[in-house]
Amino acid sequence: MEIQVKELSKIYGTQENQVVALNRASLTIHQGDFISIMGPSGSGKSTLLHLISGLDLPTSGSVTYGSTNIHQGSDRNLSAFRRQKIGFIFQQFHLLPVLTARENILMPLLLDKKQADETYLQELACLLGLESRLTHLPHELSGGQQQRVAIARALIARPDIIFADEPTGNLDTKSGSQVMEMLCRIQENMSKTLVVITHDPRIAGMARRRFTIVDGELSEVTVS
């Protein structure tokens, strides 16, 4: 499914407190794209990702998946659409502390009243090196393991698109590289669309299409 982002803007606050977090960003994301978006802190990276993934509403502009403008339907439709089509990976993992790794991974299915797919769960656990960690609580896991649980959770409903907002930002270099390698492999082998936000040039360089964002202005880097 193709995603069309047109003239997307987000302005926070009013009058003298106004912050233009995103200024008329446009891009087209094709099925199977691997895109990185790099920019300094406060440049509008998270704002852009939240708008594209339907986590937040734009001030103006549109986001269209296939022929569906995601900000035009009801909240309920948007939530269902997000759970089925989009996997989101956060810098802070956002695992529920009282649930085991397994329960965290299965949460999106539970919310959609779907059966756990045991075979696929095991496949993901194996792919992400989590086989012996599924009964652990988040605080019993390392940062890298917690992020890998979050990746499995993002994949369990078999979404086409994965958005990752600084997925290695809270990890040391070694676990960060591991997490990125796994994301790259998943993108390629499962033919997912992957959009990764980062301020690490090495991670940005792994993507086939690269964008930068400065003061809310998005532009594509042409690789010669």
In the complex, the residues that contact ligand ADP under the rule CB under 6 A are: 12-13, 19, 21, 39, 41-47
Q: Burial of 209 by CB count in 10 Å (0-12 exposed, 13-18 middle, 19+ buried)?
A: middle
CB of 91 to Mg ion, least distance (A): 7
H or E element at residue 156: none
Residue 82 binding result from Mg ion, ligand ADP, none, given CB thresholds of 5 to 8 Å by partner type: none
Residue 39 binding result from ligand ADP, Mg ion, none, given CB thresholds of 5 to 8 Å by partner type: ligand ADP
Structure tokens at 96: 């529920």
Residue 47 binding result from Mg ion, ligand ADP, none, given CB thresholds of 5 to 8 Å by partner type: ligand ADP
- The one-character DSSP state at 158 is -
- Interacting positions 37-56 with Mg ion (CB under 5 A): 45-46
User: 43 vs 146, which CB is nearer to ligand ADP?
Assistant: 43
Residue 44 binding result from ligand ADP, Mg ion, none, given CB thresholds of 5 to 8 Å by partner type: ligand ADP
Backbone φ/ψ region at 147: left (φ over 0), alpha (ψ -120 to 50), beta: alpha
Rounded CA separation 65/60 (Å): 17
Residues near Mg ion (CB under 5 A): 45-46
